[in-house]
Amino acid sequence: MSAPLAHLYALALRALDAHDRRAHELRARLAPVLAAGAAGLALLAGPAASAVARGGPACGVALIVTVCGAVVTVVAVGRLLSGERSPNALTLADAQRLLHEGDGMTSDARFYEAMIRGMRRLEQRSEREYDRLSRLFTGVMCGILFVLCGLALTALVG
């Protein structure tokens, strides 16, 4: 392997590994957040249940907020954990397509240009996937917040 190609390959691997690491770190933060939400749910469920037994229209509104938050949380967690995609995978077919698109087989310079274009596309796909995961994680956090606020409001109102 030539020195420029080896350098290009090392840079591309570092960039894609950084994106992959960011996505895995985001997924790793999900378990503690869910555990904290479950602890809050366990602490507030009893007082909220006794408040609902006493009834009132404000309790109904607070329960609607709680249920909406629970639905948002479950949907966001499901989408976050489902479909472990790997946007960083450059397959042999992708590499062949890149080389034939840019006529990268004719010279070293064209080969490098084709590979750089391919690595840029991978980086963009990886960035979009990280943004998607980040939005879903924010949805999980908001859903948990709504559940806990709804339960606390139910307990306070009742």
In a domain, 110, yes or no: no
Percentage of the chain with pLDDT > 70?
78
Ramachandran region, residue 83 (left: φ > 0; alpha: ψ -120 to 50; beta: rest): left
Per-residue pLDDT of 141-158, as tens digits, reads 999 998 888 888 888 887
pLDDT of residue 40: 86
In a domain, 37, yes or no: yes
Mean pLDDT value across residues 44-62: 80
C-alpha R_g of the chain: 24
pLDDT of residue 94: 66
- Amino acid in the structure at residue 91: T
Structural domains in the chain (count): 1
In a domain, 117, yes or no: no
Q: Is 74 helix (H, G, I), strand (E, B) or coil?
A: helix
In a domain, 129, yes or no: yes
Cα separation, 155 vs 52, whole angstroms: 8
pLDDT of residue 84: 58
In a domain, 23, yes or no: yes
Per-residue confidence band for 63, with pLDDT thresholds at 50, 70 and 90: confident
**Over the chain, what is the mean pLDDT?**
78
The whole domain housing 56 covers 3-88+122-157
User: pTM of the entire structure?
Assistant: 0.69
In a domain, 25, yes or no: yes
pLDDT for 85 beyond 60? no
In a domain, 64, yes or no: yes
36: tokens are 């904290």
In a domain, 15, yes or no: yes
pLDDT of residue 96: 67
Cα separation, 94 vs 83, whole angstroms: 21
